[in-house]
Structure 1
Amino acid sequence: MSSDAPGFELPLRLFMAFRVLIDELHAELARQGHPDMRPMYGFVLQAISRGSATAVDLGRTLGVSKQAAGKMIEALERVGYVERSPDPKDTRRKIVRLTRHGTDALARSAQIFDAMRNRWAKTLGHERLRALEADLRTMTPPDLWRLDVPGWFGGQ
């Protein structure tokens, strides 16, 4: 009998690590003035900051319908993370932009992630963490900003 963990444990441990990091991030964001941030919002704000400027663009990037993207935009607009304005080239379209509050949330998220990584390095050791990151780079696609997780989780 093998002393290796069962195969199903690997994805669950990877997901648990993701969950621990994201939960800690959002607790700290709440303490720093962003109590309305939700895990899904991070994907949306990243997509918008990388050029998904309309509900159609955003839906395509996130792997969700235009309607689902529109609902996410409305939710983010209500809590002040994005704003919509008419497209000067096509008044039928609305351009979505991050507000100062949305930009602040992304900047604080980056700082918090750096602090969490530093804590992991202290716990695991810098070399072990670098090796873990290198191994994950080997086993995953090169596109770090693949943001279609919302659609993938939703089964769309």
Structure 2
Amino acid sequence: MNSLRAGYELPLLLLAGFRTLVDELHDELARRGHPQARPAHGFAMQAIGPDGATASDIGRRLGISKQAAGKTVDRLIALGYAERGADHADARRRLVRRTTHGDEMLALSAAIFDRLRKQWAQTLGEQQLRTMEDGLRTVAAPNAFRLDTTRWLGD
């Protein structure tokens, strides 16, 4: 039996696992009151951070133009996940802040991801899942996870 596997399968399997988790997350978010939430919204909400950020900051963190960040922010505001307001430290700047609704969506997402991880642990076994996670931490570049991942996938 040949145990050699084609190298191209590994990134496809990793992407398929990622896609499976994210699709299941968004299916449940839709069922639980967030039908218009999209994966890019989660990245943008993280880029806003708990203290708020300017559109320029968000664009830089996501690796997109200020104009694209502005459109994303407009969408988050329309969905009630974010709001624009004055920067109390600098009256010339406008900050984007997450709303309570946005923070609730992020908290719900975290809880759903925890549940999905438990499902994977039941399917694979907790030790096998931990071994996989530890292995990925070992081989992943130190700064491989960045908020601009959606841009990287799209280019």
How does the TM-score come out when normalised to structure 1?
Answer: 0.92
Q: 1:52 touches 1:61 (CA, 8 Å); kept in 2?
A: no
Q: Superposed, which structure 2 residues align to 1:6-155 within 5 Å?
A: 6-49=6-49, 51=51, 53-143=53-143, 146-155=146-155
C-alpha distance in structure 2 between counterparts of 1:80 and 1:142, whole Å: 34
Per-residue deviation, 1:50: 5.2
Q: Deviations over 1:36-67 (max 9, x none)?
A: 10011010111212556111111111111111
Say what the alpha-carbon RMSD is for the aligned residues.
Answer: 1.8
Per-residue deviation, 1:29: 0.6
Distance 1:11 1:86, change over 3 A: same
- Letter paired with 1:113: F
Per-residue deviation, 1:142: 3.5
The secondary structure found in structure 2 opposite 1:7 is coil
Per-residue deviation, 1:2: 4.8
Identity %: 54
Structure 2 residues not aligned, in runs of 5+: none
User: How many aligned positions are there?
Assistant: 155
C-alpha distance in structure 1 between counterparts of 2:56 and 2:50, whole Å: 14
Q: Deviations over 1:100-119 (max 9, x none)?
A: 11000000000000000001
C-alpha distance in structure 2 between counterparts of 1:52 and 1:132, whole Å: 35
Structure 1 residues not aligned, in runs of 5+: none
The secondary structure found in structure 2 opposite 1:83 is strand
C-alpha distance in structure 1 between counterparts of 2:54 and 2:13, whole Å: 35
Q: Deviations over 1:111-142 (max 9, x none)?
A: 00000000100100000000000000001133
Q: Deviations over 1:72-114 (max 9, x none)?
A: 0001101110000122333332101111110000000000000
